[in-house]
Structure formats: C-alpha cells, structure tokens
Structure 1
Amino acid sequence: MYRFLLTPRWWGINVFVLLAIPFCLFMGTWQLGRFEDRVDSHRSAEQRPSAGAGRAAAVPLEELLPVDKETSGRLAEASGRFGKQFLVPGRELDGKTGSYVLTLLHTDGGKALPVVRGWLPAGGAAPAPPGGEVTVTGALQASENAGSNGVRAAGGLPEGQLGIISAASLVNLVPDEVYDAWITVVDSPSGLVPVPAAAAAGTGLDLKAFQNLGYTGEWFAFAGFVLFMWFRLARREAEAARDRELGLPAQDAPEARARV
C-alpha cells in the first residue's frame, strides 16, 4: 500500500521534507540562542558595577577602548586637566528634566575626554571644574547617536550647549582630537547629581529580543506544519491506493470507505 513512497514524485517530496524539517529546527534553535544571548547580556549589564556603586577597581581608560558590550559601564580612570564645559539639556533623572554638565578632560595623550560630572536641575548653575592636574573615575559609555536611547540631536542650541555626547558633535568646538567615548563620574561635586551609567546598546530586553523569541516559535511551527502535511498527503495517497486495489471508482471511493 505504501509502495508509492518509492515513486519519483514521492522521492522529491521525501527529500524536501528531510531537508526542510532540520532546517526549520536549526533556524528555530538559532533564534532561541539569539534571545538567550540578549537575556544574558541584559543580566550582565544589570549586575555590572555602575558609576555609583564603586564595587570594582577602576581600569585605565586606554585598556577599555574601544567601547563594546563588555566594557560599557566599566569603571575607567583618566588623568589630565579640565578645559571647556558644556551643558547637555533635556536629560531626565528621577522623573525631572535638567542638563548634564559635560567638561572636557585634556589627557596626557593629547586627546580630550568628555566627562559628565553630574546632572544639573533646571535653572541651576553649573559649578566650575577644578584646576590643575586631576584624576577622574567614572563609568565608561559609548558615544551617543542621534535618535538612540531617546536622544536627539538638538539644532539651534545656544553657545555652550550640546544635543548629544559624541566626538562628532565636539570636533568643531575643541582643537584637540576627542575620544569616541565618555565617562560619567562616580563622585559629583556639590550641586550636581551623579548620572547612572546607561546599559550598552543591544543588551536590553527590547522588542528585538522578543522578536527573536517569536521567530523561534514560527520556525518550530513550520517544522510541525511540514511534518503534518507529509502525513496528510501520505494518508490520502494510501487511501487512494487501497481504493484502486478494491477496484472502486475514484468518485465512489469516499462513500465506499464510509460503508466499510
């Protein structure tokens, strides 16, 4: 009855099924792995010491560059002299809107490091940076991009203000080369509130993470559908073969099987 499975037509169907099911299972497993990686990254970012925690020893800045998912949020240390200071308006902290106070640290390597010394409430006056050689410790952050993490490049800002914290926004404002990173200090001066380090991009449980989980279900469902359709086609073919063996006309086969 099942000799039809060896016909050329069914050889093609069988080969397709034998290739499609492992492929769907592989893709589903891969998408599940992507979701689990995002969950692990999210947990690691939550457990990583933040700028205010101070639970880990600071590492020299150069050892943590370039910033990636592993080094973002790590405590970095840099020495130099403070230079120009800017306000980064429109930043929220604890439900209130204010500004980041960003001061450029001119390091011994001849480059400028953006340092967020704290958050300033609206209407407040930013304290002047200390003079002379200083060493700052803070959580390392990647340069911001317009539109990322709700940050937008504000146009037409007054002099002394920035829309985003990035080397691109500072390159025409300072003579030195600017690091493609910034730090938010552990201890803010009086009048400022320490800014907590933000999680690295791609480490949160965002919509993309749950899309991976949804794709996992879809691929496993495809595998089940392929197997279901193979059994259904095989059953119908087997029933047709049995009808032919009984000598039943094709149009009378359903009624004849019902009587049997």
Structure 2
Amino acid sequence: MYRFLLTGRWVLTVLIALLLIPACIRLGFWQLHRHEARVARNNLIGASLKAAPVPFDSLSPRPGFHVPGDLTWRTVTATGEYDTAHEFVVRQRTAADGGTIGYFVITPLKLADGHGEVLVNRGWVDSGSDATQYPPVPAAPRGTITATGRMRADETSASSGIRDRGGLPDRQFMLINTAEQAKATGATLLGGYLELASTDPAPADQPQLIPAPDHSDIGPHMAYAIQWWLFAAMVPVGLWIMIRREARERANPAPDTPAPTAPPIPAPAAPAA
C-alpha cells in the first residue's frame, strides 16, 4: 500500500521533512538561549543600577583597565574638578528621543584623591548648523563636584561597530576611548568612563542627560522559540497527512471519465415525389 514511498519524489519529500525537524528544534533552542541572555542582561543592569554607589577608582584602579560586563552599568561616583581644557565631543550620537543626531560632551574629571582622571559623559547636545565647528556646550561646573553615574567600558570599533576615522575638526572624535585621549593629552585616565546621571552641587545648565537603559523589555525571542518548536511538531503531522492522502488516492483511483461522443447526424430527408 505504501510502496509509492520508494519512488524518487517521495524519498526526497521524506528526506526534506526529516532534515526540517531537527533544524526547527535547533533554531528554537537558539532563540531560547537568546531569551535567556536577554533576561540575564536585564537582571544585571537592574541590579547594577540599584546598587549603592561606589567610587569609580575602586572599580577601575588604573589606566588601560578593561571594564568587564558585570561592572558595566554599575553606579559609581567621582569627586574632583573638571579639566575643561581637554573637553571634547563625540559625533553622531542620538538624543533621548531616539531620532535626533548630535554630540556627546566628554569632560575629564581630575579626582580629588589624586588617583588620576575620569572621563565623564556629561550628556547630549545638538550639532548646531555647522558640523565643522565645535558645538555650543553648557559650561562644566567649576570647583569641586561629585559626579554620580553609570560605569561604561571604553568604546572601540570592534565593540561598538563605529568606525574610527581621522581628519575630524578639532576636539571632535568618533569614540569614547581613554587610551586615545591619554595619547592625545598625556593625562592619566582610568579605564572606562562615567555616564553622568547627577551632579552635586547641581549645575544651572548642563547637556541633556542620557537616560538609564531600559531593562524591562525581554524581546520576542521566547515567542520565536515556541514558533520554531511548533513548526518542528507540524512537519511530521503534515507529512503523514500527505502520505495518507496519496495512499487513499492510489487505493481508490477516480473512475475514468468517458470521452464525450458527438450526437448522431440525422439522415437527409427523401425528396418529395
């Protein structure tokens, strides 16, 4: 009854189905792992943002220090005076609205304990009408201040996907990178940088602060995983339905339809006498 499965067409059909099942299962687990990684990242960010602030230089003790993933977003503080002479901006950065392109304002902060300097991302400003000129930037507070914010790792082209390039106007860069700035200025910059959330005392004017990252969205990966597993379950069901239909059609072939016959041609009538 099922000898037709040995034909070339059906052998190929069954082989494709057998390959689709593990492929769909594997893709489902891939999406599940992405879901788990997203949840773990959100939990880490949430815990880091809620943690009590610690001094920046207690986590990043030296120049060239690579900030690991479990310290990224950790709440940190830095006390000292801004080094406005070495302030710079980072191009092509998005405002809090997610659509407006401008600059991040980065100002080094000389630590009061003398352990070096920390790059502080003071926030976002509009690019203005001339991208070849340094943009209007609210002045950094004078005197000793305490900056509180989120610890971030140095940006590189590999980690950020941003292509570093030369030939930019004075004090404009593409990346926030302490090694690059230390080479340019000779300052002792601790690895990583501080993404500002608040300043004590609060300044009268400042760039637009960067909002804390959203760590509530888990993404669609779990739904995608379930879809792939449903596809894996549907493949054998669909294959069995196709096989049964083929078997029924072969067991009960449709009767041949007789060819239509033309109506008889009437004989011509005899002529009248």
TM-score, normalised to structure 2's length?
Answer: 0.57
Query: For the Cα contact (< 8 Å) 2:90–2:176, is it kept in 1?
Result: no
Deviations 1:146-201 (A, max 9, x none): 5988966564333333332123532421335644421123215332146225539x
- The percent identity for this pair of structures is 21
Task: Measure, in 2, the Cα distance between the counterparts of 1:191 and 1:31.
Answer: 47
Task: Tell me, yes or no, if structure 1 residue 123 matches structure 2 residue 127.
Answer: no
Counterpart-to-counterpart distance in 2, 1:120 and 1:77 = 23
Structure 1: distance between partners of 2:169 and 2:249: 81
| Aligned residues of 1:67 and 1:181 also touching (Cα < 8 A) | no
Output one character per residue of 1:83-105: Cα deviation in whole Å (capped at 9) or x when no partner: 45323155454567664332224
198, 205, 209: which one aligns with 1:195: 209
Residue 63 (structure 2) aligns with = none
**CA 1:233–1:126 in 2, change beyond 3 Å: closer, same or farther?**
same
Aligned partner of 1:232 in structure 2 is: 242
Q: Which residue matches 2:52?
A: 57
Distance 1:255-1:171 versus aligned 2 partners, 3 A rule: farther
**Other-structure match for 1:114:** 119
Q: Which runs of 5+ in 2 are unaligned?
A: 61-65, 127-134, 257-273
Q: Using the alignment, how far apart are the partners of 1:124 and 1:176 within structure 2?
A: 22
Cα offsets for 1:115-171 (capped at 9, x unmatched): 12344565345236536xx65432112333459889665643333333321235324
Paired residue for 1:103?
107
1:229, CA displacement in angstroms?
1.9
How far did residue 232 of structure 1 move? 1.8
Q: Is 1:66 the equivalent of 2:76?
A: no
Where does 1:89-238 land on structure 2 (aligned, <5 Å)? Answer: 90=91, 91-93=93-95, 99-105=103-109, 112-119=117-124, 122-127=135-140, 129-130=142-143, 136-145=147-156, 153=164, 155-176=166-187, 178-185=189-196, 186-187=198-199, 189-193=203-207, 195-197=209-211, 199=213, 217-218=227-228, 220-233=230-243, 235-237=245-247
Distance change >3 Å, CA 76–CA 116, structure 1 → 2? same
Structure 1, gaps ≥5 residues long: 244-252
Aligned length, in residue pairs: 233
Q: Which structure shows the higher helix fraction?
A: 1
The answer to whether 1:88 aligns with 2:106 is no
Shift in CA distance, 32/118, structure 1 to aligned 2, threshold 3 Å: closer
